[in-house]
Amino acid sequence: MGDRLLIIPIGALMFGLVGALIWRFGQRRWPLQVGGVLLALVVAALVSEQGLNSRPQAARLVAEGFGQLALGRLAVGLLVGGLAALALELVIAGNDGQDAGATALTVVLGAPAALTLTSDSLPVVAFSTAMLMGAVWVRWQRVAGPQLLVRSLGRQTVIVFSALLAAAAILPSVRLGAAPPLLEAVLLAGAVAGEMGVLPFSGWAGASMRLGPRESSFWRIWMVPVGLLLEARLVAASPTSVATSLRELLIGLGLATALFWGARALLGPEEGRYPRILACDVGLMCTAIAFATGQGLAAALVLLLVHWLAGSLFIAKSGVRPKLLAWIGISGVPPFGGFAGRILLVITAASFSPTLAVLVLLVVGLQLGAAAVGMRTNVASRPTTSSPPRELIGLIVAVSGLVLGVVPVQALALVLGRHP
């Protein structure tokens, strides 16, 4: 690790400090303000360290030792974007002190997320991913007890840890031709699926909103982006024989997830409709990245930005107008961000196979229907408005979804340093 990357352990320390402050003194306002200043310092240091120019992250994957930490522009963008999504949530939904534990944990989880995003060592990634998922499991168990979905997350934490460690263990042998590449691909695909909440490991993901709106933020803010970048790096850095099978597996799993959760979002009850649409989009993002093209990655990242913006609006208890705009934003109606991400994915899928493009279009239709039902329920519900400043911020965030759809290339370049 170079001296310049000392920012990562320092940042991790800061994250821990802020989390501890919010956790301990969550009922008061000053921890959030102090924490905000500390985090702003970390973010400023990250940006000054990295600059705003795009720098590609080295595509390498090691199993022996700790490897190196590579702080690419995309990783910086995902970290800063995650924190910004958390800040949006706090501003729009408010912080009444009851969710201080969730807020603290979301801040603290930035540290293992940063390690996963920057390390090129598979055992280190296994370690940090287990820390990330394990912390969420502990939190959920404390909040809700051992419900089925909490137990599922506990099991999947260990399964992701197992799959990544086993993949690391046999990677040197795969490179030498002494172990089957298909086995390595299955292990890596299982790890990615478990980390992101893709079928067959998505039961906890779609139902997470039941634990409380703020409790599902861990998944949207950290686990999905970390899983996306992890998938992109695994696909790019695996030996060719592994990467081919890995991509095929992830395309299949992602599409199956999107179809399953798309149908459930359309036909299921109103409660939890948004997490089901998110689960459906996670499937689409998984598929998009598995295409291993710049356009596919851009499609996934646009969808991620859409949910970072819209998610905070769905968490708020009041504010009908921003929520209505958020439903339109994620529905896939042009020219909002949801449309931009999905149309990019359809174009990418069409260049691989017409069948894939038709399946993606089917998913887009399911999402449009589900969002329409959500909009109808939202309009029919008793109109509630939050305080004027929050309502205004909510409207600005919702309109940002429109801006994202109109200028997706510029938005991606600004936030994540990507040029599709």
Shortest approach of another protein to residue 269 CB, angstroms?
24
Output 20 or 357, the one with its CB closest to another protein.
20
Distance CA 285, CA 300 (A): 4
Q: Which is nearer to another protein, 182 or 373 (CB)?
A: 182
Q: Smallest distance, Å, CB 184 to another protein?
A: 11
Give contact residues for another protein (rule: CB under 8 A): 63-66, 121, 123-124, 126-127, 130-131, 134, 138, 141-142, 145-146, 151, 154-155, 157-159, 161-162, 165-166, 168-170, 172-173, 176, 178-180, 183
CB of 186 to another protein, least distance (A): 12
Of 208 and 400, the one with the shorter C-beta distance to another protein is 208
CB nearer to another protein: give 98 or 384.
Answer: 98
Kindly provide the b/e burial profile for residues 97-136, where b requires at least 16 CB atoms within 10 angstroms of the residue's own CB: eebbbbbbbbbbbbbbbbbbbbbbbbbbbbbbbbbbbbbb
Q: Output the 3-class SS for the chain.
A: CCHHHHHHHHHHHHHHHHHHHHHHCCCCCHHHHHHHHHHHHHHHHHHHHHCCCCCCCCCCCECCCCCCECCCHHHHHHHHHHHHHHHHHHHHHCCCCCCHHHHHHHHHCHHHHHHHHHECEHHHHHHHHHHHHHHHHHHHHHHHCCCHHHHHHHHHHHHHHHHHHHHHHHHHHHHHCCCCHHHHHHHHHHHHHHHHCCCCCCHHHHCHHHHCHHHHHHHHHHHHHHHHHHHHHHHHHCCHHHHHHHHHHHHHHHHHHHHHHHHHHHHCCCCCHHHHHHHHHHHHHHHHHHCCCHHHHHHHHHHHHHHHHHHHHHHCCCCHHHHHHHHHHHHCCCCCHHHHHHHHHHHHHHHHCHHHHHHHHHHHHHHHHHHHHHHHHHHHCCCCCCCHHHHHHHHHHHHHHHHHHHCHHHHHHHHHCCCC
Compute φ and ψ for 330, nearest 5 degrees. Answer: -90, -5
On whether the CB atoms of residues 308 and 84 are closer than 8 A, the answer is yes
Minimum gap (Å) between residue 243 Cβ and another protein: 20
Least distance between another protein and beta carbon 370 (Å): 32
For another protein, give the closer residue by CB, 122 or 226. 122
Residue with tokens 């998009």: 288
**Nearest residue (CB) to another protein, 177 versus 354:** 177
CB of 192 to another protein, least distance (A): 17
Q: Which is nearer to another protein, 171 or 344 (CB)?
A: 171
Rounded Cα–Cα distance for residues 94 and 145 (Å): 25
Residue with smaller CB distance to another protein, 103 or 119: 119
Give 133 or 277: the residue with its C-beta nearer to another protein. Answer: 133
Q: Which is nearer to another protein, 122 or 364 (CB)?
A: 122
**Least distance from C-beta 99 to another protein, angstroms?**
17
Nearer Cβ to another protein (126/226): 126
Instruction: Give first-to-last CA distance, the chain, whole Å.
Output: 30
